Amino acid sequence: MDIVFNNNEQSCCNGDVALQEDASYTGHATNESVLQQIGEKQELLQTISRRQIAFTGHVIRKGRLEELCLSGRVQGKKATGGQKLLYLNQLKESTGQCAIRDLWDANLALNKPAWMSSVYARASVSSAAENSVDCHLGTNWFHGVCSSTAENDRSPWIVIDLLGQYEVHNVTIYNREDDFSERLHDFVIEIYRTNPSRCSEASAVICKVYSGVFGLTGNVQCESAVLGRFVRIWKPTTLNYQDVLTVCEIEVYGIRPDSCAPTWHQGVRGKYLLSPGAATFPQQSMVTCFHLCVMSETCVGANYNGGSNECQLISQPKPTDTVSSNQDWVFFGDDLC
């Protein structure tokens, strides 16, 4: 639809817009060009989008309802009609959100550090662990948007560091859909409070033991809410050497518990985490260093040197960070034990 604007009545645009001088009294302009001139976005489309999001939000708050109501998938029955999940995908694209649920509950896994027991080696296609938290919801492994462990890894797993202690409620997994989707089977979702890759004493609490073939994309509800920082998906049984663990995206949902007091008051003596992104604060007492980390929104660990009184706050630990031993240092955090 075209609209007609009056060049002599700029007040209708609050006087903010200098219309083109060669425009005639009843010149025609498209909606888009006028809206662009006055700096307005398309309100109608925005309103529709807002209402779609609000509707979807009501539907998906309970997790499984997303699948049942929007995709029409009922166990044992074939879905009728078109692929209704496309509706969700369109919403995700129009809102720029990785997952629609992000509008209400943040996906705690998004762009967080991730690593695996091994990485499938094929130079032309990335199978890196980061692909599972990259917000790319494609499910074709050949597009390099999925993670996959290596062949002959008979106990494959992937870990995501949520960079904070959360009460985890459910996990949405996007399986590979182009081929070999049956390889995602019989896995365990474990939650750890301390880093299972750096702390041999780390113990898991089970979110869910999933039996059988997972199928395509789906949401897994924890048996009960589990508190922890590290989410591990582990496939303890492999059927053959090619039975790799492949996932294309993992979304983790949960809440900050009311009490976020750290569990690491005592510290680990004689060790420190070499994290290149750490912020350094010279001449601090150990107590102050500890409290600086506790009071920070992003700090998940601290190194303290009792000799030099140097305090290092760690906010972005990476799987590639290394651990060093030195009696001058004390580490506070969930990465070491």
Contact set with Ca ion (CB under 5 A): 131, 134, 136, 145, 248-249
> Whose Cβ is closer to Ca ion: residue 250's or residue 311's?
250
Assess contact for 190 and 122: CB atoms under 8 A: no
Closer to Ca ion by CB, 249 or 335: give it. 249
Q: What is the SS3 assignment for 68?
A: helix
CA-CA distance, 180 to 273, in Å (whole number)?
Answer: 39
Q: How far is the CB of 337 from Ca ion (least distance, A)?
A: 31
Residue type, 159: V
Q: Return the percent helix, strand and coil in the chain, to nearest 5.
A: 20, 30, 45
Contacts of 217 (CB under 8 A, 6+ apart): 85, 139, 172, 173, 174, 175, 177
Contact of 137 with 249, CB cutoff 8 Å: yes
Q: How many residues does the chain have?
A: 337
Q: Which is nearer to Ca ion, 134 or 321 (CB)?
A: 134
Least distance in Å: CB of 136 to Ca ion?
4
**Shorter beta-carbon distance to Ca ion: residue 194 or 219:** 219
Note whether 163 and 229 are within 8 A (CB).
yes
12: exposed, middle or buried (Cβ count in 10 Å: 0-12, 13-18, 19+): exposed
**Can you tell me the distance from the alpha carbon of 210 to that of 49, in angstroms, rounded to the nearest whole number?**
36
CA–CA distance, 238 with 183 (Å, rounded to integer): 9
Q: Closest CB to Ca ion among 66 and 251?
A: 251
Nearest distance from C-beta of residue 247 to Ca ion, angstroms: 8
User: Least distance from C-beta 212 to Ca ion, angstroms?
Assistant: 24
CB of 246 to Ca ion, least distance (A): 11
The DSSP code for 150 is: P
Amino acid at 132: S
Judged by beta carbon, residue 66 or residue 134, the one nearer Ca ion is 134
**Sequence-ordered list of residues with C-beta below 8 angstroms from that of 109, at least 6 positions apart, any chain:** 132, 133, 160, 162, 231, 250, 251, 252
For the bound state, the minimum distance from the C-beta of residue 156 to Ca ion, rounded and expressed in Å, comes to 17
Q: How far is the CB of 135 from Ca ion (least distance, A)?
A: 7
